[in-house]
C-alpha cells in the first residue's frame, strides 16, 4: 500500500545543505529518501535523522551512473509508490582555477556530468513517480554564480569571481530548469532553481559563509510551495527568510 505522507528524494544528502534540507523537511513530516553514492555514509545520516524522530531512508544513487539512478527509482517506486518532491542537490566544484583560459577541460566536463547531466538524468528517471503526485515539486540546486546578468554587472558581488567551468554548469542547469518548468506546467509540476548563498560546507572548504541550515531554506520553501506558487524561476532567501526571485 502506498504511504499517503509526502515523500521527498534528495540527492547528495548525507551532509551539508542536502542533509539540512532533509532535516528541515523531515521535521514537517515528510518521508525522506537520502540518495547518496556512499551507502555507508547515507546510513549514518539516516540514523542521525531517525534519532530526531524523522522518517528517513537511504538509497544508493550516483547521479553520474545511469544504472544506479534507474535502480534508485525502482527502489523508491516499489517502497513508496510515488514521489512528491525531488531535490537535485548533488553537486561538484573543483579547486579555484587560475583563469578560464587555463581551466582544465576534464574538470569542467566532470562538473557538467554531475551538475547538469546528473540533475537531468535523475529528473528523467523519477518523473514517472513524480507524475503520480497531485502536485509534485522539482528543486534544482543552482548558485548565485550562475547569473549571466550579475556576471556582467561591475556592481555585482560576483563580478570578480572566477570558477568559469562551475559557473557555466550552473547556468546550463538554469536553462534546463526553465525548459522543464514550461514542459511540466500543464501537469501541475513546478520546477524551480535555488541559490543557497555562500554556505560553509565541505565543497567550499568550510570557509566563510552561513550555515547549511540557512543555505537549505530556499529549497525547503520551494519544496513545500502551494499550488499558486511560481515555476521556472531562480530563488534565494532574504535575511527575513522570504523567497526572493533572482536574475537569471
CATH of the domain at 116: 3.40.50.720
How many structural domains compose the chain?
Answer: 1
**pLDDT value at 175 more than 80:** yes
For the stretch 81-97, pLDDT in tens is 999 999 999 999 988 87
Question: Is residue 32 within 8 Å of 53, Cβ to Cβ?
Answer: no
R_g of the chain computed on alpha carbons: 17
Of the residues 15, 27, 30, 170, which is catalytic? 170
Rounded CA-CA distance 109/12 in Å is 19
In the three-class reduction of DSSP (H, G, I as helix; E, B as strand; rest coil), residue 46 is classed as helix
**Beta partners for 141?**
194
State the residue range of the domain holding 53. 7-245
Residue 2 included in any domain:
no
pLDDT at 158: 76
Asked about 179 being catalytic, the answer comes back as no
pLDDT at 203: 67
Residue 199 has pLDDT above 60, yes or no: yes
Q: Is 170 a catalytic residue?
A: yes
Exactly one of 30, 166, 190, 246 is catalytic; name it: 166
**Any domain includes 96:** yes
Amino acid at each position: 500500500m502506498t504511504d499517503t505522507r509526502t515523500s521527498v528524494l534528495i540527492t547528495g544528502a548525507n551532509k551539508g545543505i542536502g542533509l539540512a534540507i532533509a532535516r528541515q523537511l523531515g521535521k514537517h513530516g515528510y518521508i525522506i529518501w537520502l540518495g547518496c553514492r556512499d551507502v555507508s555514509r547515507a546510513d549514518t545520516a539516516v540514523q542521525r535523522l531517525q534519532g530526531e524522530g524523522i522518517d528517513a531512508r537511504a538509497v544508493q544513487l550516483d547521479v553520474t551512473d545511469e544504472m544506479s539512478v534507474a535502480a534508485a527509482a525502482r527502489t523508491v517506486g516499489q517502497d513508496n509508490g510515488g514521489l512528491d518532491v525531488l531535490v537535485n542537490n548533488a553537486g561538484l566544484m573543483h579547486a579555484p582555477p587560475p583563469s578560464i583560459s587555463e581551466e582544465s577541460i576534464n574538470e569542467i566536463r566532470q562538473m557538467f556530468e554531475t551538475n547538469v547531466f546528473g540533475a537531468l538524468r535523475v529528473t528523467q528517471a523519477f518523473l514517472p513517480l513524480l507524475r503520480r503526485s497531485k502536485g509534485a515539486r522539482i528543486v534544482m540546486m543552482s548558485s548565485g554564480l550562475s547569473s549571466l546578468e550579475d556576471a556582467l554587472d561591475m556592481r555585482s558581488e560576483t563580478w570578480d569571481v572566477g570558477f568559469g567551468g562551475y559557473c557555466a554548469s550552473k547556468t546550463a542547469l538554469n536553462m534546463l530548469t526553465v525548459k522543464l518548468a514550461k514542459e511540466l506546467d500543464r501537469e501541475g509540476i513546478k520546477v524551480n532553481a535555488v541559490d543557497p548563498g555562500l554556505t560553509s560546507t565541505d565543497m567550499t572548504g568550510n570557509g566563510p559563509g552561513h550555515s547549511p541550515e540557512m543555505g537549505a531554506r530556499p529549497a525547503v520553501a520551494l519544496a513545500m510551495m502551494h499550488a499558486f506558487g511560481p515555476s521556472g524561476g531562480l530563488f534565494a532567501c532574504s535575511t527575513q527568510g522570504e523567497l526572493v526571485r533572482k536574475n537569471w
